[in-house]
Amino acid sequence: MSFDLVFFGGTGDLTWRKLMPALFQAFRHGKLPAGGRILAVARDQRTDEEYRAFIKERFHEVDSSKRPSDEEFARFAELLHYRRMDLSKPEDYAGLKDWLDARGADTVVLYLATSPHLFPAICEQLGSAGLNAPHIRVVLEKPLGHDLASAQEINRVVRSVFREEQAFRIDHYLGKPSVQNLMALRFGNALFEPLWRRESIANIQITLSESIGVGTRGDFYDRTGALRDMIQNHALQLLTMIAMEPPSTSDADAIRDEKLKVLKSLKPFTPESVARDVVRGQYRAGSVGGQAVPGYQQEVKVPAGSHCETFVALRTEVQNWRWAGVPFYLRTGKRLAARDAQIVVNFRPVPHPIFPGAQRANKLVIKLQPEDGLELHLLAAKGSGTSESLAPVSLDLDFDKAFPTERVGAYERLLLDAIAGRLNLFVRSDEQEQAWRWVEPILDAWERERVSGGEGPRGYAAGSWGPAAASALVARDGFAWSEEQ
């Protein structure tokens, strides 16, 4: 199958830092279909050879295990091409169409690795140029919009040019092998499904924490914040995969229909519940890994007095028969104590304890990063005497050790799926809009507080697990975050 893959924003950070290394890995592993061309477009004037030299230089900045040898890069570079384009000029789109039509590849993938505010204009130009034929797909990088209205406008324009099955809205978390294992864990095994409900589960915690700060991205991040950057997309997608009903098939729409039902079942926020069930914070100066680090407002390009949140913790519920009354806690933040992404399923304690000592409830930890695996925490008897207390034990599965062959990275998997036309791991427009609809009352409440001169986010020391109020949020229900248990 011949394909052309076009990157709009071909000299940007996303393209050289994430997308090109992912494509090279697919090429190295022999998974990239034969007969492909990769075209980067940007405003700069470059030749193909100059662009190839640019990408080769940037490969020195990726992980050493993912860098090509000179011989490998020489073969990979044969796929790389470059065109200068001004994204506002119709004649440049016509030139791109001529370049693509000259070969007539079976599949054309147009990847918009640009600022999202350019998506509508680019899609309109693509439609005017006739770059929307059935064999053409468009990939839209997140964040898709800044709020519900902007997301709806992007989707309106995309739908006016492309059919829904041609639009691939990417959330790279869905490409992680560990996230795909959520589906396998639940629907490929009979072990957990009978317990996957309110009668057996006390609460579910989703944590997406980073130890790094905003770095040089202060201006971008200050317009975005943790809620838009992580909760509205990554955390909610994980929640839907944990809480969804079993789909009838593994088809994309069957899966996405069930995810949408979860989003529509989330308990809606009111001004009162935002104040009660949402904690936002902003990191102050502190220490991470033994190194002193500045506070958010001392970072480059962050405006003085910023109310931007770098931490969010919230409590919600899925209001249906399976999950009624079970709290879901979502947490994300920068400059936290560790880089960690995990889902913790805390089970209810046994109904009638017969052993002495404290009875710790079972829990399942689904580790997403930096490790990729499962931990099942149980209680067992040592066998050292009568009337002994039970001791905690754990079953630990490391997927990297269980599957020692080279595993496919997130962007590698998603790029290959886009080329093949597989939509399972991409977000449908109604999912995306419903997620915005759910978080918008939080954004509105924060904006009202800012306008009225409110105090803004709570401070927390860099290197901690966020504001103390986040612990109080969970303790109010009689629970604790995983690291506090």
pLDDT for 159-201, tens place per residue?
Answer: 999 999 999 999 888 888 888 888 888 899 998 899 999 999 9
pTM score of the predicted model: 0.93
pLDDT for 472-485, tens place per residue?
Answer: 999 999 999 999 98
Spatial distance between the Cα atoms of 13 and 122, rounded to a whole number of angstroms: 19
**Which of 77-114 are b and which e, b meaning 16 or more Cβ less than 10 Å from the residue's Cβ?**
bebbbbbebebeeeebbebbbebbeeeebebbbbbbbb
At 343, is the secondary structure helix, strand, or coil? strand
Spatial distance between the Cα atoms of 281 and 458, rounded to a whole number of angstroms: 4
Given a cut of 70, whether residue 469 has pLDDT beyond it is yes
- Determine the pLDDT at residue 472: 98
- Which residue(s) pair with 207 in the sheet? 331, 342
Q: Are 201 and 116 in contact (CB under 8 A)?
A: no
Among all residues, which ones are annotated catalytic?
234
pLDDT for 190-214, tens place per residue?
Answer: 988 999 999 999 999 999 999 999 9
Distances (CA, A) of 6 to 21, 56, 83, 112, 150: 15, 18, 10, 8, 25
- In the structure, what pLDDT confidence band is assigned to residue 406 with cuts at 50, 70 and 90? low
Least confident of 16-25, 62-71, 97-106, 210-219: 62-71
Q: Are 186 and 192 in contact (CB under 8 A)?
A: yes
Residue 365, φ and ψ in degrees, nearest 5: -110, 120
- Burial degree of 320 (CB within 10 A; 0-12, 13-18, 19+): middle
Spatial distance between the Cα atoms of 447 and 274, rounded to a whole number of angstroms: 12
Given a cut of 90, whether residue 403 has pLDDT beyond it is no
Please state, for a pLDDT cut of 70, what percent of the chain lies above it: 99
Spatial distance between the Cα atoms of 451 and 443, rounded to a whole number of angstroms: 12
Q: Are 116 and 141 in contact (CB under 8 A)?
A: yes
Spatial distance between the Cα atoms of 417 and 414, rounded to a whole number of angstroms: 5
